[in-house]
Structure 1
Amino acid sequence: MEFSLSTLLTSTRLLQRSIGIFFFTLILSLCSIESTVIVNVTTAGYKLGLEVPNAEIEGSPNKDGKGQSDWEYQAINFPDSIANSSKFLQGIDSYKRYKGDVKLVKKLGVDFIDYLLLGLEFFQGVDHYNKLINKLLKKGIKPSVTIFHFDMPQSLEEKYGGYLSHSFVNDLKDYSDFCFKTFGDRIKHWVTINEPKILSLFGYENGWAPPGRCSLPNMGCTRGGNSSTEPYIAAHNLILAHAAVYKLYKEKYQEEQGGEVGIALNINYYEPYDSKSLEDQAAAKRLLDFHLGWFVEPIVFGDYPKSMRELVKDRLPIFSEEQKVMLKGAYDFLGINYYLSSYAQNSPNSRVGVIPHHAVDALALELDSKIGVRLGYPETGGYPNGLRKLLEFIKEKYQDPIIYICENGVKENENSRPREESLNDLYRITFLLRHLNAVNKAIK
């Protein structure tokens, strides 16, 4: 069995440490200049790379005219909603130290890096990213760009309600137009939006992320909201925004620039809790519809999954016929962010006595263990076989798309170990090797 999974990038989240050393959490990826980088792995026929979300590493939140993001607003005004009450002020100070960072990345032997472009409101921000892109290319490192990775300008949240407004679609299209025109002569890989599901659910169902809107009890609701409808409205506009950006690039830039455009989606794989139960098997399929199909089916087939239409009913927005035409085929590749899998158990009474919302709409429970045993490898976490099955599922159901694995990895729980001990990183090496092996099986 052959996959059109032509490239595998290992994405690396640069976690903080502001002393001249990058502390990498390795992740399988190809998405975001947020910072994705590629390394040749000739024996397997795919490539490895790095991903770096700029909000986590750059610092300098007020430098060169950059406006306040919704995350910065959240951290300042609702500090209890952010772990350790962090303020996004410094990261590893990469905005100022990018030249040294590029040298360190080059030492790793990588040849592709993925960044998010921030602070383009003023010429100084444009100048910074031009210098960064040119320096990467000079070092033989191919930059990739994620246009939108979580950082909504707070001014747009206040002006028209962010993702809840169709105005976001037009604004992201205009912003992308500027990015394509300014950097497209050198950038050949574009991700429109990273993890729209997180933006929709964490921002509007449980309030764990900006703008903190929700109506469920005992959640992170800070600014009102409606957990039954707003996640679906936000997702609807994010999907339309992706398609509008794709259409723009295809019609105006692709022939001349020769790049590709896709979207990055975070997804678990779901195994039936009882593998012999037809009800649990159906529940697993519904969860894949509600988490993966929610965003993939509109851009592959032109509409939401049938199961979502049947269960969510009029809370799920409708695409016009014109929008369906724009949506269908609006991708050159699909980016997948995979970390773990869950068990799926049929739960026909999930919505009884609760506010209807996405977490219960599929009438299925997501469980991470069975009889006290976690799914996958308990010593390192993760379920590599789930990644293999997910790739095979996408290939078979969604017309064999090109797939980039944008994120995969495991966090380090112990941050106080000496550097030498930390570099002997068998824990994460084992995790990644198992997942690489799973991908290799899927390709073959």
Structure 2
Amino acid sequence: MFVQPKQGGFIGIVAQTMMYEPLTEFDQEAASRALAFNTAWTLDPLIFGNYPPEMRSYHGSELPQFSSEEAKIIKGSIDFIGVNHYSTLYAKDCMHCSCILGGDRSIRGFVYSTGERDGVPIGEATGMPRFFVVPRGIGEIIDYIQKRYHNKPIFVTENGYASLEHQQVQVQDLLHDVKRIEFHKSYLASLAQAIRNGADVRGYFIWTLMDDFEWAQGYGMRFGLYYVDPQTLNRIPKLSARWYKNFLTNSSLNSKENVYISEV
């Protein structure tokens, strides 16, 4: 907002988001609280000028108070919302029961999150712990943000699939990344439905173009559409890179090179 008068700027912030679903029928409020203590904690102050009421109701004066001048400065200070989204988890209420949350129960909103219910994963596993394949989640988190923030413009700034790691994985297997294609097709379909439902989504970015250094996981965690040879640094397009190119350009998928891609 501050650079608009002189530069015509368009400024936003990126929130790392998980979607949360109730673990049981008694955990509806816990799932809602988990969203507030994660996503809304980042966005509410910049849009409404205060912390989420869900946090205020539990923490009260423990939360910092914005002065009237501070609230005036930060309220409405972003033009768009960036969303990093990969997965969905179950939420369990820990307000009145013992949960293994460590020392940050209040920061977690007194909610225990898990990727399993009765031993059954919420979705197919990926190479990143707690990142399960749950396509409906991206549509649901976009719907949550759309309704809470009056359909402010949204950019999906990160969405991607980490390959499952194997000890003796061959390069050719890494290049034939069918699971990554399936992931992006299903997540994009869910995102498209959210757009049809009215969400003002302006962009979508895959994480990531090339295999990269993923924090503590280093080069062993592969999200990229391009394989990077660790010895030569040569970049080789995976099957997903060719599929995504065809998706973006609406190209014909009838050539021999793309026969399998069209079947995925």
Scaled by the length of structure 1, what TM-score is found? Answer: 0.40
- Aligned position for 2:145: 394
Alpha-carbon distance in 2 for matches of 1:359, 1:313? 12
Q: Which residue, out of 140, 143, 164, partners 1:413?
A: 164
Distance 1:331 1:354, change over 3 A: closer
Alpha-carbon distance in 2 for matches of 1:400, 1:426? 34
Contact 2:34–2:108 (CA under 8 A) maintained in structure 1: no
Contact 2:37–2:109 (CA under 8 A) maintained in structure 1: yes
- Aligned position for 1:372: 119
Alpha-carbon distance in 1 for matches of 2:102, 2:174? 46
1:253 CA displacement:
2.3
- Aligned position for 1:345: 92
Matches within 5 A, 1:39-188: none
SS in 2 for 1:260: coil
- Aligned position for 1:268: 18
1:377 CA displacement:
3.1
- Aligned position for 2:62: 315
Distance 1:336 1:252, change over 3 A: same
Q: Which residue, out of 243, 250, 261, partners 2:4?
A: 250
The runs of 5 or more residues in structure 1 that have no matched partner are 1-245
Q: Which residue, out of 179, 184, 190, partners 1:427?
A: 179
Q: Which has the higher helix share?
A: 1
- Aligned position for 1:293: 40
Alpha-carbon distance in 1 for matches of 2:172, 2:186? 24
Distance 1:287 1:353, change over 3 A: closer
Matched, 1:303 2:53: no
SS in 2 for 1:267: strand
1:396 CA displacement:
1.1
Q: Which residue, out of 174, 192, 210, partners 1:440?
A: 192
Scaled by the length of structure 2, what TM-score is found? Answer: 0.65
Contact 1:349–1:363 (CA under 8 A) maintained in structure 2: no
Alpha-carbon distance in 1 for matches of 2:184, 2:17? 17
Contact 2:126–2:161 (CA under 8 A) maintained in structure 1: no
1:441 CA displacement:
1.2
- Aligned position for 1:226: none
**Identity rate, percent:** 29
- Give RMSD over aligned pairs: 2.5
Matches within 5 A, 1:7-22: none
1:361 CA displacement:
5.1
1:295 CA displacement:
1.1
Distance 1:392 1:253, change over 3 A: same
Alpha-carbon distance in 2 for matches of 1:350, 1:300? 34
1:303 CA displacement:
0.4
Distance 1:325 1:421, change over 3 A: same
Aligned length: 191
Alpha-carbon distance in 2 for matches of 1:423, 1:356? 42
